[in-house]
Chains A and B, each alone.
Chain A
Amino acid sequence: MLLEQVVSGLASGSLYGLFALALVMIYRGTDVVNFAQGEMAMITVFVALTLMKAGLSFWAAFGCTLVFAALLGAVAERFIIRYVSQGAVLNLVIVTVGMFTVCNSLAGWIWGYIPEPFPTPLEGGAPLRLGGIVVTRYTLVILAVAVTIMVLLYTFFTFTTVGIAMRAVAQNRTASRLMGIPVNRMLLLSWALSSVLGAVAGVLVAPLTYVDPNAMSGLLVYAFASAVLGGLDSPVGAVIGGLLVGVVENLAGAYLGSELKLSFAFALIVGVLVIRPAGLFGHARLKKV
């Protein structure tokens, strides 16, 4: 029982981790928490649902949705964020909150507010018994996809010139320009990639919940808790924070009652901010004023 809760916690935790990675990527590149991240993911989930209703299989719709998500992130950076990113951080925060509202209303207007079920990629199939514990097949799908994506991301940011350049831009824009790195293009890429990560997490979590315009707010809160726990500027921290939040949230839900899950996430955010504001793996940053 305990071990089963831990495994299913790891699965949801890996999704929080992916989503937290999306937040961290934007935070490092743009210095702002993208509050619209959840709503952008929600839109992509609706796009996936629409495609499936039009007859595409789960995985085909998933693939198309990732392309759409990349475009959505790129458009948000190119036509909104770029014009406000030179101003005060607070301006950016307000703009992302505005994007949140716009996405939410737009989704309600297009797809309505009635919660809809989201198909799962696995039709039937009994839960598997692995070394004495019972795991659903979908749990394994989530873990496999999440791990694959994390390995791909790690490879991209460690070994490719573009990946390293994206990290360089996040650290020092002026120095990056002096190296000939196209800074704007890298920021565009960060937003596209982060939107894709959000879409992956969103589409994978959707079969476990119903889909409506507020469907991703829970994911955003848990991911935000994960990122704060791990350190907002640390990708490794985001993943580990996600796994921790997933496991503890699941255990709290199982043993204390599921009503407390979300409050638990908020308590975690507050607790971390009080005890260790930089997070487990983050660096305390001095803000230049």
Chain B
Amino acid sequence: MLELNGIDAAYGPRQVLHGVSLSVAKGQVVTLLGANGAGKTTTLRTISGLVAPARGAVLLEGRPIHRLSAERIVSLGIAQVPEGRQIFPTLTVRENLRMGGYTRRGGAELERDVGRVFEYFPILRERQRQLGGTLSGGEQQMLAIARGFLARPKVLLLDEPSHGLAPLIVREIFRIIKAINEAGMTIFLVEQDAGIALSVAHHGYVMETGRLVLEGPAASLRANDAVRRSYLGI
């Protein structure tokens, strides 16, 4: 579904990604693990077209997309839920959701999907008319995921959905991520919290200072000594 081939990316003179190649199979949750500053967010920004790769290619269903604009990439089927949620604080919840479906030209189908989103996140239905900025951190994360979902992407990119949230809320959010995947959504999940990420993922990659150092099925990564020591704290 989504493939990265030998991606190099840099901010000015500072190279951040070195030959990153990975693939996300249709219907799976694939996770990218790594410490803060490893290059995970840059990987997502490259996929979404916010950073242009210096070398390599990003393919969506075999079609190169790394030279396209961010807007175009969304309409081709990649939505990103960015780090720190980045909801629109003075737009209402409902307006935030409407922006999530911006590329879809509205209609009955979008309304039906909004209904589905409210089933996943009932609290958002209650908060529809509130301003995004008045939501709690967990609710904002839910809104951000809902917004990404409403673009009806082929692949949903999630950047650190656990960041800054209480453990109970993190568990709730990951339960819903899993449910969304089980309903057919392909998900590429970037996380620092390897434990919770591997609990929903099928496949995983580990990144260190801009290079992929390890990959495998989630179960084998969970059992891997290096992963256990560095990322699971066991």
Q: Which residues of B contact A176 (CB under 8 A)?
A: 99
Task: Provide the bound-state CA to CA distance between A178 and B144, in Å.
Answer: 11
> Are B88 and A168 closer than 8 Å at their CB atoms?
yes
In angstroms, Cα B16 to Cα A212, docked, is 57
Contact A174 B86 (CB under 8 A): yes
A176→B99 CA distance, assembly (Å)? 8
Instruction: Check if A180 sits within 8 Å of B86, measured CB to CB.
Output: no
Interface centre among B88, B95, B106 (most CB of A within 10 A): B88
A175 and B86 contact, CB distance less than 8 A: yes
Tell me whether B43 is interfacial, beta carbon within 8 Å. no
Contact call A167/B88, Cβ cutoff below 8 A: yes
A179: CB under 8 A from chain B? yes
Q: Is the CB of A168 within 8 A of B99?
A: yes
* Residue B162, interface by CB 8 Å: no
Determine whether the beta carbon of B82 is less than 8 Å from that of A168.
no
Residues of A within 8 Å of B88, CB to CB, are 167-168, 171-172, 175
Contact (A178, B70) CB under 8 Å given A165-B102, A172-B86: yes
The interface on chain A, measured as residues whose beta carbon lies within 8 A of the other chain's beta carbons, has a size of 17
Q: With an 8 A cutoff between CB atoms, is A86 at the interface?
A: no
**A164 x B98 contact (CB < 8 A):** yes
Interface members, chain A 173-223 (any B CB < 8 Å): 174-183
Question: Residues of B contacting A177 with CB < 8 Å?
Answer: 48, 50, 70-71
Contact in complex: A182, B99 (CB < 8 Å)? no
Residues of A within 8 Å of B147, CB to CB, are 179
The answer for the CA separation of A171 and B87 in the assembled complex, in Å, is: 9
Given A161-B98, A164-B99, verify A175-B74 contact (CB < 8 Å): no
How far is it, in angstroms, between the C-alpha of A180 and the C-alpha of B147 when the chains are bound? 12
Within 8 A of B (CB), among A134-193: 161, 164-165, 167-168, 171-172, 174-183
Q: Considering only CB atoms, which chain A residue lies closest to B44 in the complex?
A: A178
B48 touches A178 (CB 8 A): yes
Q: Complex Cα distance A165/B86, Å?
A: 15
Write out the residue numbers on chain A whose beta carbons fall within 8 Å of the beta carbon of B50.
Answer: 174, 177-178
Within residues 130 to 149 of chain B, which ones have a CB less than 8 A from any CB in chain A?
A: 147
Q: How far is the CB of B205 from chain A (nearest CB, A)?
A: 22
Q: How large is the interface on B (under 10, 10 to 19, 20 to 34, 35 or more residues)?
A: 20 to 34
- In the bound complex, CA of A181 to CA of B70 (Å): 9
Among A168, A171, A178, A180, which residue has its beta carbon within 8 angstroms of that of B75? A180
A161 touches B89 (CB 8 A): no
B82/A181 in contact, CB under 8 A: no
Q: Does B91 interact with chain A (Cβ within 8 Å)?
A: yes
Give every chain A residue within 8 A of B98 (Cβ-Cβ).
161, 164
* Min CB–CB distance B143 → chain A (angstroms): 11
Smallest CB separation, B77 vs chain A (Å): 10
Contact indicator B151/A179 (Cβ below 8 Å): yes
Q: In angstroms, how far is the closest chain A Cβ from the Cβ of B151?
A: 7
Cβ of B36 within 8 Å of any chain A Cβ, yes or no, is no
Please name all residues of chain B whose beta carbon is closer than 8 Å to the beta carbon of A168 when the two chains form the complex: 88, 91, 95, 99
**Does B79 lie within 8 Å of A161, measured CB to CB?**
no
Chain A proximity of B101: nearest CB distance (Å): 8
Q: Is the CB of B106 within 8 A of A161?
A: yes
Which chain B residues in 77-117 approach chain A with CB under 8 Å? Answer: 79-80, 82, 86-91, 95, 98-100, 102-103, 106
Q: How far is the CA of A164 from the CA of B103 in the complex (A)?
A: 13
Interface centre among A167, A178, A180 (most CB of B within 10 A): A178
In chain A, what residue has the closest Cβ to B85? A175
Docked pose: A161 CA to B100 CA in angstroms: 11
Contacts of A178 in B (CB 8 A): 48, 50, 70, 74, 79-80, 82, 86
Mark out the residues of chain B between 154 and 204 whose CB falls within 8 Å of any chain A CB in the assembled complex. Answer: none
| Option from A161, A164, A181 in Cβ contact (under 8 Å) with B71 | A181
Interface centre among A180, A182, A183 (most CB of B within 10 A): A180
**Interchain Cβ contacts under 8 Å between A and B, 28 examples:** A161-B98, A161-B106, A165-B102, A167-B88, A167-B90, A167-B91, A167-B95, A168-B88, A168-B91, A168-B99, A171-B89, A171-B91, A172-B86, A174-B86, A175-B82, A175-B86, A176-B99, A177-B50, A177-B71, A178-B79, A178-B82, A178-B86, A179-B103, A179-B147, A180-B74, A180-B75, A180-B103, A181-B99
Residues of chain B touching chain A, judged by Cβ–Cβ distance below 8 Å, are: 48, 50, 70-71, 74-75, 79-80, 82, 86-91, 95, 98-100, 102-103, 106, 147, 151
**Lowest 7 CB-CB distances: which A-B pairs, in order?**
A180-B74, A180-B103, A175-B86, A177-B70, A171-B88, A178-B80, A179-B102
